[in-house]
């Protein structure tokens, strides 16, 4: 079991390097590593922990299985001409072969690679959930993730000093999306650690002595320092809609802390939070559109007009089942203006709509809401250590909102961090003596 934990720590510690070297070799290495990690963890985790984790995973099984099913449908040959991409019938006619069979994906290799990468991230999430059943290991893993994210934020601040200018991408560029996501998630994680430190101190009333004051002050000081660094990096890089998403995430953290202190039941508290959040999103977010583009493209923080134009053209011609996951880089040059070769979508939301199709986009929104509610309620019903689940719920909310303004969720480092945080949150959403409701 110790081997598994060390491997997980090594993987998380490699995130800063992956943020710079985000190439195919890194993806293949992570895929092989994560696929084997779940086997190690399942074989070494105590049986009692497995009996808790598997029911948790079954409760979110639809969210886990849907991407796999959809990508398989996009890859396999289908006999329905109304569902397959027109490129296949055009290609068949060009070579003089009549066929009613075709594929949804325009690039089968790209979609297959995306499926393998998704399975790797799923393996990483499951193995993290298994390892994180031990609260001490969950805490250590969460601290490591927070430290790594805070280091990336510190890199942003150092880049503001004139001699070190240029070590981080400029604000507003697509390359800065990773650092924007890191800054926002670091703010949430440091805030969650600060709340955890204060809650544990309040729970030890009557047991205070000099030996407990120093660790409390030290841990709280480190959390507040990390919070200041992360908040400063967010202020430098993050667009207005990302800042609004961060506020929603911080609100979720404080809602959990306050409702738990007041003893409010999980379901009423969750409904109140969803109502408040829904009203805030409906009132505030329409005023945060960063460009004059229509629909979800209007929330894109990128000012790359060529990419916005190309994605709008692709979106207008996208079939119901999408063009195939991972195929957008191949489509962008085809639909771009002459002399312009954009390589990626301005936002994750646009990429999902183009590659997966609008029905899948709606299903993803519903599944994301389901996952958030499940983890949020888990944080409310926990007897202690609720900050793991509350941080995961806030992270899900923030990543979902940020998907409309940038493409950070398409990057491998952000996917790794998200998989680890969600894995910890799922695992710790139910205590050892608690039962799923």
Range of the domain at 63: 2-200+213-427
For residue 207, being part of any structural domain is answered with: no
Lowest mean pLDDT among 72-76, 291-295, 387-391, 393-397: 291-295
Query: Residue 19: its pLDDT value, please?
Result: 45
Per-residue confidence at 17, pLDDT binned at 50, 70, 90? very low
For the chain, what percent of residues have pLDDT higher than 90? Answer: 30
For residue 313, being part of any structural domain is answered with: yes
Q: Write down the pTM of the prediction.
A: 0.86
Facing residues of 78 across strands?
A: 102
Q: What is the pLDDT of residues 303-332, one digit of tens each?
A: 677 788 888 888 888 888 999 999 988 888
CB 402 within 8 A of CB 107: no
For residue 206, being part of any structural domain is answered with: no
For residue 435, being part of any structural domain is answered with: no
CB 189 within 8 A of CB 153: no
- Reading the block at residue 393, the tokens are 């719920």
For residue 434, being part of any structural domain is answered with: no
233 pLDDT higher than 90: yes
Mean pLDDT, rounded, for 183-205: 87
d(CA 109, CA 115): 10
20 pLDDT higher than 50: no
For residue 436, being part of any structural domain is answered with: no
CB 40 within 8 A of CB 126: no
For residue 252, being part of any structural domain is answered with: yes
Lowest mean pLDDT among 83-97, 257-271, 403-417: 83-97
Average pLDDT, the chain: 80
219 pLDDT higher than 70: yes
Please, is 369 exposed, middle or buried when counting C-beta atoms within 10 Å of its C-beta (0-12, 13-18, 19+)?
middle
CB 406 within 8 A of CB 381: no
Mean pLDDT, rounded, for 79-101: 65
Query: Residue 212: its pLDDT value, please?
Result: 66
436 pLDDT higher than 50: yes
Query: Residue 16: its pLDDT value, please?
Result: 47
Mean pLDDT, rounded, for 377-388: 83
For residue 257, being part of any structural domain is answered with: yes
Report the domain count for the chain. 1
195 pLDDT higher than 60: yes
Q: H/E/C letters for each residue in the chain?
A: CHHHHHHHHHHHHCHHHHHHCCCHHHHHHHHHHHHHHHHHHHHHCCHHHHHHHHHHHHHCHHHHHHHHHHHHHHHCCECCCCCCCHHHHHHHHHCCCCCCCECCCCCHHHHHHHHHHHHHHHHHHHHHHHHCCCHHHHHHHHHHHHHHHHHHHHHHHHCCCHHHCCCCCCCCCHHHHHHHHHHHHHHHHHHHHHHHHHHHHHCCCCCCCHHHHHHHHHHHHHHHHHHHHHHHHHHHHCCHHHHHHHHHHHHHHHHHHHHHHHCCCHHHHHHHHHHHHHHHHHHHHHHHCCCCCCHHHHHCCCCCHHHHHHHHHHHHCCCCCCCCCCCHHHHHHHHCCCCCCCCCCCCHHHHHHHHCCHHHHHHHHHHHHHHHHHHHHHHHHCCCCHHHHHHHHHHHHHHHHHCCCCCHHHCHHHHHHHHHHHHHHHHCCCCCCCCCC
90 pLDDT higher than 70: no
């Amino acid at each position: 079991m110790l081997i598994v934990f060390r491997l997980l720590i090594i993987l998380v510690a490699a995130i800063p390097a992956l943020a710079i070297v985000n190439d195919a070799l890194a993806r293949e290495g992570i895929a092989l590593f994560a696929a084997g990690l779940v086997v190690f963890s399942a074989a070494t985790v105590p049986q009692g922990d497995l009996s808790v984790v598997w029911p948790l995973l079954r409760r979110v099984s639809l969210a886990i299985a849907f991407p796999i099913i959809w990508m398989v449908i996009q890859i396999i040959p289908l006999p329905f001409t109304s569902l397959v991409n027109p490129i296949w019938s055009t290609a068949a006619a060009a070579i003089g072969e009549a066929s009613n069979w075709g594929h949804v994906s325009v690039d089968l290799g790209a979609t297959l690679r995306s499926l393998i990468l998704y399975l790797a991230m799923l393996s990483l999430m499951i193995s993290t959930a298994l390892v994180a059943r031990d609260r001490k290991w969950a805490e250590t893993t969460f601290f490591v993730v927070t430290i790594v994210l805070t280091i990336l934020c510190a890199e942003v601040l150092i880049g503001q000093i004139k001699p070190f200018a240029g070590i981080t991408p400029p604000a507003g560029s697509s390359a800065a999306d990773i650092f924007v996501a890191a800054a926002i998630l670091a703010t949430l994680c440091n805030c969650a650690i600060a709340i955890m430190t204060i809650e544990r101190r309040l729970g030890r009333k009557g047991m205070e002595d000099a030996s407990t004051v120093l660790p409390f002050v030290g841990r709280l000081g480190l959390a507040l320092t990390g919070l200041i660094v992360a908040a400063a990096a967010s202020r430098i890089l993050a667009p207005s809609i990302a800042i609004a998403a961060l506020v929603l995430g911080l609100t979720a953290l404080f809602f959990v802390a306050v409702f738990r202190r007041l003893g409010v039941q999980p379901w009423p508290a969750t409904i109140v939070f969803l109502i408040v959040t829904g009203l805030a999103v409906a009132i505030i977010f329409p005023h945060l559109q960063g460009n004059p583009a229509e629909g979800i493209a209007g929330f894109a923080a990128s000012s790359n007009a060529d990419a916005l134009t190309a994605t709008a053209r692709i979106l207008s011609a996208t079939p119901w089942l999408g063009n195939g996951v991972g195929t957008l880089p191949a489509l962008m040059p085809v639909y771009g203006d002459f002399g312009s070769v954009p390589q990626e979508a301005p936002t994750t939301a646009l990429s999902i709509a183009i590659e997966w199709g609008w029905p899948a986009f709606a299903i993803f929104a519903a599944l994301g809401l389901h996952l958030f509610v499940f983890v949020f309620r888990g944080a409310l019903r926990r007897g202690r250590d609720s900050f793991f689940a509350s941080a995961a719920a806030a992270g899900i909310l923030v990543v979902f909102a940020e998907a409309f303004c940038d493409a950070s969720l398409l990057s491998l480092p952000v996917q790794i961090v998200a998989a680890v945080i969600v894995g910890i949150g799922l695992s710790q959403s139910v205590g050892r003596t608690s039962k799923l409701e």
